[in-house]
Chains A and B, each alone.
Chain A
């Protein structure tokens, strides 16, 4: 679960917390801080409850998974046979078996395409918000917030109802636009159209965060700078390219990174579309694949190996984000 439920995510607090950082009084100088420094046992005691619960609920599973990923741990082991050490065999399978490999590739492609699309659409909406009247901007912001606030599961049921092949609105609209073939077409039955539907939904859910963050960044670009550029004869495009973009690059890179991390782990959306009649085997991404291996086939060795790969990818991606947050902490 952590911060977000995949791309549906409620990432605002991330920004909210970042916001607090600059307010820190610079350096806890003074005698009180001095005296507190001398009693190292107090802070450690305060940390005990959190550390204990984190170790139990997250630490142990991570460790178990690491160990299990080097073992053969299937149905037989579930019924009492001791698990057998197989070294890197699970990982070797993952790299060599084309059907396993396909899941990894599919997940990465889906993640990259959707994340970039989200940032592009979000960025364009942010630019649009700058050029419209106050009323129009507020209407747009409220509707983005509505989409953002929707719980993922509720949002999924609505979208599934919209794309429903029997009575869904999508097919009705398409038929009335002249695409007779859409009558009774099941969009979830083919992997490609399945992923297009999933992608549209994930983009719909994630754009609000990006659009509002980038817009917030844009409002920080000073008018004087833009006016100066305009006086110097810079066109709108040139101002965007050479003045605005470099100034908001930090915001863009952070939201892009977060989107990549969140889109790698889309689970709820894929799982529910599969439940609604999608083909499961060809539409698995990492999350649903691990789920299927673990709960469906009882192959805990393999599912642990895939999980470890997924955790590794996430940590690698997160590293940069976490570092940039920490830089503020240290400053």
Chain B
């Protein structure tokens, strides 16, 4: 028994060491972002940001490129999420509340489309956007993003819609509500968590997306946040970089996403278990 406890202690220590190593890049980003360039240039790295400041953040935020990229990213993401959720919700209703010919093939097609890599499509998308004059356009990019997340969003919402028993709606209809009323008053509120989860998923996808944006948003004026961040890395290839500022910029992009991700993690991890049970 004692030997076993000792073993657990050792394994636990190992787990903590691995945990620290895994989180280290995130920690390093935050530490570096708080330090002035002089200290990052010194030959000895600084592991604790003692005497650090938020000057890097201030400089990044006041940089005009950041504001522009932020507003473009916000516009594209919100448009794409709104369109994706609205369209996918209707689609999810169709595939989960109705039986029709070709329903299963449609779902199958959605799942396959959902696996298609952007990298295998983006050149054609670029040609298409340029031929309809939608390069560097917020609307154009949002359409591409919405289309990219819709298949999976339908699949995800389909599960939520199917999870609300139709008997509830029927009961409400017996009590005198019309079908529309029953749907709006009974089913829709029960679907709210599912819609939020799907919206967060779509948000994270669109907010982080790099590949398609790189091809379609060719001008500096129309960069999204990931493209703006990439600009720093590109510059680092040819000249000394102010890594403190780059890390502050990274943190500004990453921290909201991390917080968002952690909030929805609870329901996501239960999903993981569920999926694994079914295998």
Chain A interface (Cβ < 8 Å from any Cβ of B):
1-3, 5, 8, 10, 12-25, 28, 30-33, 36-37, 40, 42-44, 46-47, 49-50, 53-54, 56-58, 60-62, 64-65, 68, 125, 128-129, 131-133, 135-137, 139-140, 142-162, 164, 166-167, 169, 172, 204, 207-208, 212-213, 216-217, 219-220, 248, 250-251, 254, 261, 264-265, 267-268, 271-272, 275-277, 286-287, 290-291, 293-295, 300, 303-304, 307-308, 310-311, 314-315, 317-319, 321-322, 325-326, 328-330
Report yes or no: A2 in contact with B254, Cβ–Cβ below 8 A. Answer: no
Among B98, B169, B211, B271, contact of A17 (Cβ-Cβ < 8 Å): B271
Please measure, in the bound complex, the distance between the C-alpha atom of A319 and the C-alpha atom of B112, giving whole angstroms. 7
Report yes or no: B98 in contact with A149, Cβ–Cβ below 8 A. Answer: no
Max chain A CB contacts within 10 Å: which of B145, B167, B275?
B275
Report yes or no: B210 in contact with A153, Cβ–Cβ below 8 A. Answer: yes
Overall SS of chain B's interface: helix
Report yes or no: B123 in contact with A65, Cβ–Cβ below 8 A. Answer: yes
Contacts of B277 in A (CB 8 A): 220
Interface residue? B8 (CB, 8 A)? yes
Nearest residue (CB) in A for B152 is A3
Contacts of B162 in A (CB 8 A): 20-21, 23-25
Report yes or no: A43 in contact with B98, Cβ–Cβ below 8 A. Answer: yes
Contacts of A14 in B (CB 8 A): 152, 275
Interface residue? B177 (CB, 8 A)? no
Interface residue? B160 (CB, 8 A)? yes
CB A308 to nearest CB in B, in angstroms, measures 8
Contacts of A49 in B (CB 8 A): 86-87, 90-91
Chain B interface (Cβ < 8 Å from any Cβ of A):
7-9, 11-16, 18-20, 22-23, 25-26, 28-29, 32, 40-41, 43-45, 83, 86-88, 90-91, 93-95, 97-101, 103-104, 106-108, 111-128, 143-152, 154-156, 158-160, 162-163, 165-167, 169-170, 173, 197-198, 201, 204-212, 214-215, 226, 229-230, 232-234, 236-237, 240-241, 243, 246-247, 249-251, 253-254, 257-258, 261-262, 265, 267-279
Nearest residue (CB) in A for B240 is A166
Report yes or no: B232 in contact with A157, Cβ–Cβ below 8 A. Answer: yes
Nearest residue (CB) in B for A136 is B12
CB A27 to nearest CB in B, in angstroms, measures 10
Among A3, A33, A267, contact of B115 (Cβ-Cβ < 8 Å): A3
Report yes or no: A12 in contact with B272, Cβ–Cβ below 8 A. Answer: yes
Report yes or no: B262 in contact with A213, Cβ–Cβ below 8 A. Answer: no
Report yes or no: A267 in contact with B101, Cβ–Cβ below 8 A. Answer: no
Among B11, B208, B274, contact of A151 (Cβ-Cβ < 8 Å): B208
Max chain A CB contacts within 10 Å: which of B93, B273, B276?
B276
